[in-house]
Structure 1
């Protein structure tokens, strides 16, 4: 293998690793943002911004970045999540806004309908 081939292989592997890391970051960001890619595309985060000192995706850093993005642009929040209620995010308390948790009305089901 020549030096150029080794460099090309390294670059290809780096691109693949970056794609995996970004996908993992977006998976975590989906808890907070309606469109997880907005963490990078709208909020302007870079991959380096979401990695810890060991090069792993940091859920804490993603939450901080998502919180900052939603504070600036509340429409970025994931459905059913309202910034500022329980820490940075919490379930919406308004039924029309997709309430979840203890405040949510249960969704209608066939079992409920058949029971009358």
Structure 2
């Protein structure tokens, strides 16, 4: 006997089908899983948390905060930006980063605390 499984096949087909129709498509599930995996990397999580705390930071500040080189930080920020979790803007010779609403929501779920955008 396995405590993780039903001993009897008792599918409520109409209810189960109605729920299945409301769930994510395979493509949307893959995209959401990709975003979740993005914050499973400790460096990217640190960068996102710093942006959640500060609102907006340049690559130099993020590099200092994370204790990582600017090249590595830029790489991780590109990953986060490609997944729609951060946005960037150029201010003169600096590139400023901030969390998107989606990024703040995901960070909040991962950290278990509310994050402002």
The TM-score with structure 1 as length reference comes to 0.26
Greater fraction strand: 2
